[in-house]
Amino acid sequence: MAENTIDVTDSNFEEMVLKAGIPTMVDFWATWCAPCRAIAPHVAEMAKAYEGRVRVVKMNVDENPSTPGKYGVRGIPTLILFKDGKVLDQLVGAVPKGQIKDLVEKGL
């Protein structure tokens, strides 16, 4: 886990994401997923750049199957931006850093 990201689970998702009080981007990933590893540095960079304004969390889909299913995550990596407990937007796949930044900016 990167220094500025937080690991979340099915059991603490509501508290850490839906009730966060600030926009929160969730990175749905798995250890075996090469595209997930490819975007991980960009996700960590966003966590550092937007610290205090946007929360960035990571959820391992293999260890937490309930939440990804609830939000229709069918492919990984999937990045979903939540604001005020609702989905604002999402990206699927190994997208460029600029698209991740644009997603984060939508929450501000």
Catalytic status, residue 36: yes
Distance CA 86, CA 23 (A): 10
Residue tagged active-site, from 8, 17, 26, 33: 33
Catalytic status, residue 33: yes
Q: Judge contact between 66 and 35, C-beta under 8 A.
A: no
Residue with tokens 């610290």: 51
Residue tagged active-site, from 25, 36, 40, 103: 36
Residues tagged active-site: 33, 36
